[in-house]
Structures are given as structure tokens and as C-alpha cells.
Amino acid sequence: MDIVKLGPEDTERFLALRRAMFATEAMNFRGASADDDAIGLAAWRERLARDHVYAVVQDGTWLAVGGLTRLAGQKLDHKGLIWGMYALPAARGTGAAARILDQLEAKAREIGLRQLQLTLMADNTRARRVYERHGFALYATEPESVRRDGEFADEALMWKRL
């Protein structure tokens, strides 16, 4: 398994992976394919140029992906947000997702961030276990944060001080 940084040239392939991810894992994400479409290709290219997005690769296949955004603002830019964590079903339990998280944390330290934040659906126990193993702690639960399949679902907010 190798880890590679994705850039603007990877945008179409990255969005195709996210489409597949939303199709099979809709319950585990606050976002949806339609939201990605609304952002548009040009903005996604810019995002992949600006953010730190990585893929774990084996034989040309992206096994897992995840991104890190530094918050904007003079008073906020000590914080980073981890987003879009996903491992292909066949790659779960292999350490691919852990490798992404380790890389994102290393990058966060390199660029001088003081803390990392992430959110997940409160009932996503598998993801929560992974984040806890990486030292993230739950600091709040946002009630009825996401309208999911016609029902309101809570979102868990986690953070890690670096």
C-alpha cells in the first residue's frame, strides 16, 4: 500500500469515487452526491489544489481516501477539519483508513495546526471506534443535525488536540 496526495488532476476520479461512496453509504454521511454536483467541477479542482487530500493506493486502486481543510480566519486557523473519510468495503479492516488518518495528522502538525475536528453520524459506531483509536474524543452531539431518509439523525462532533 502506498499513500499519494491527490491534486486537481485527480478531481474527476475523486468525484466518481465519492458518487459510489454516497450510493452505498448514504446513511453514514452528512453530504450527498447532489451536494457535490452543486459545488461543481471547478470548485472541486480548487479544493483539491488547496486542501490536503490523500489516497491509499494498491495496484492502481484507491483503497481509502480522506481530506484535511485548514479553517479560514485569523482567529480560527489553528483548527483543521478532517472530511470525506472512506475505505472501499474490501479495504476495511486492512489499516488503509488508519494510514490516511495518520497522514492527515502528520500534515496537520507540519502546517502548525493545534487541533483537529471531525463530525460523523452518531450511529456510525465503526467510524467512531476508528477515530477514538486515533485519539479523538467526543465533545458534543448535535441533535437532529441531518435529515436522512426522511428522519432526523444526530451528528457526533469529535476533536483531538495535537
Ligand X SMILES: CC(C)(COP(=O)(O)OP(=O)(O)OC[C@H]1O[C@@H](n2cnc3c(N)ncnc32)[C@H](O)[C@@H]1OP(=O)(O)O)[C@@H](O)C(=O)NCCC(=O)NCCS
To ligand X, the closest distance from the beta carbon of 41 in angstroms equals: 23
The secondary structure of 107-148, three-state, reads: HHHHCCCCEEEEEEECCCHHHHHHHHHCCCEEEEEEEEEEEE
Q: How far, in Å, CA of 50 to CA of 53, rounded?
A: 9
> Looking at 3, 32, 57, 98, which residue binds ligand X (CB under 6 A)?
98
> Per CB under 6 A, does 124 bind ligand X?
yes
> Per CB under 6 A, does 25 bind ligand X?
yes
> Per CB under 6 A, does 122 bind ligand X?
no
> Per CB under 6 A, does 87 bind ligand X?
yes
> Per CB under 6 A, does 146 bind ligand X?
no
To ligand X, the closest distance from the beta carbon of 133 in angstroms equals: 5
**In terms of CB distance, is 8 or 51 closer to ligand X?**
51
**In terms of CB distance, is 85 or 108 closer to ligand X?**
85
Contact assessment for residue 110 and residue 68, using Cβ atoms and an 8 Å cutoff:
no
**In terms of CB distance, is 2 or 9 closer to ligand X?**
2
> Looking at 56, 97, 108, 153, which residue binds ligand X (CB under 6 A)?
97
User: Could you please report the per-residue DSSP string of 55-91?
Assistant: EEEETTEEEEEEEEEEPPSTTTTTEEEEEEEEE-GGG
Q: How far, in Å, CA of 136 to CA of 80, rounded?
A: 13
**In terms of CB distance, is 91 or 113 closer to ligand X?**
91
User: Residue 40, by phi and psi: left (phi above 0), alpha (psi -120 to 50) or beta?
Assistant: left
- Write out the residues near ligand X by the rule CB under 6 A: 25, 28-29, 85-87, 92-93, 97-98, 120, 124-127, 129-130, 133
